[in-house]
């Protein structure tokens, strides 16, 4: 199963690369422009939010590792966001290694609000990648609203 999940994440990584390349070469400084339709959030904010989700669920929840909350204002360039996602890739790789052969065993944790939560590593993997694709859709819409028609960023590009 791990081999399949690694291949699936490689597809996610490839799609993310298309987005980051587009942002770097076409969008540039508008990475930091607020988009009113998205509650004045920026593309930068969305990207950092995506990374934070990976860290929260794969590190904080799955392995109980302290993770600092990210501040999107610390990542104002595409280069800094690439470095952030290199850390995400490392986190995912470690997560898949740590849970090899245990992807369907529930992890039970007490959340800060004193509510108990249970999720399998497979559910966590699925959550973080679908969360990324949800926000990737918002990012390409933000690009369009800012006047930058994006390329096809799907896993299967035509």
Number of domains in the chain: 1
Domain-embedded: residue 158: no
Domain-embedded: residue 92: yes
Residues with Cβ within 8 Å of residue 31, at least 6 apart in sequence: 23, 42, 43, 44, 76, 77, 78, 81
pTM to 2 decimal places: 0.94
* pLDDT tens for each residue of 93-137: 999 999 999 999 999 988 778 888 999 999 999 999 999 999 999
Residue 57 clears pLDDT 60, i.e. is over it? yes
Domain-embedded: residue 155: no
Domain-embedded: residue 76: yes
CATH number at residue 90: 1.20.120.450
Q: Domain range for residue 86?
A: 2-145
The dihedral built from the CA positions of residue 34, 36, 41 and 42, taken in this order, carries a sign that is negative
């Amino acid at each position: 199963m791990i081999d399949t999940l690694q291949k699936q994440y490689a597809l996610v990584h490839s799609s993310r690369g298309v987005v980051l390349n587009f942002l770097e070469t076409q969008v540039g400084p508008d990475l930091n422009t607020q988009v009113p339709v998205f509650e004045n959030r920026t593309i930068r904010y969305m990207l950092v939010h995506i990374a934070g989700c990976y860290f929260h669920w794969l590190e904080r929840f799955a392995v109980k590792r302290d993770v600092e909350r990210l501040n999107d204002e610390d990542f104002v360039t595409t280069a800094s966001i690439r470095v952030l996602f290199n850390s995400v890739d490392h986190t995912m790789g470690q997560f898949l290694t740590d849970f090899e052969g245990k992807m369907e065993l529930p992890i039970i944790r007490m959340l800060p609000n004193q509510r108990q939560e249970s999720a399998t590593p497979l559910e966590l993997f699925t959550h973080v990648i679908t969360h990324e694709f949800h926000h990737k859709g918002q990012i390409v819409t933000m690009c369009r609203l800012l006047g930058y028609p994006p390329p096809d960023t799907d896993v299967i590009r035509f």
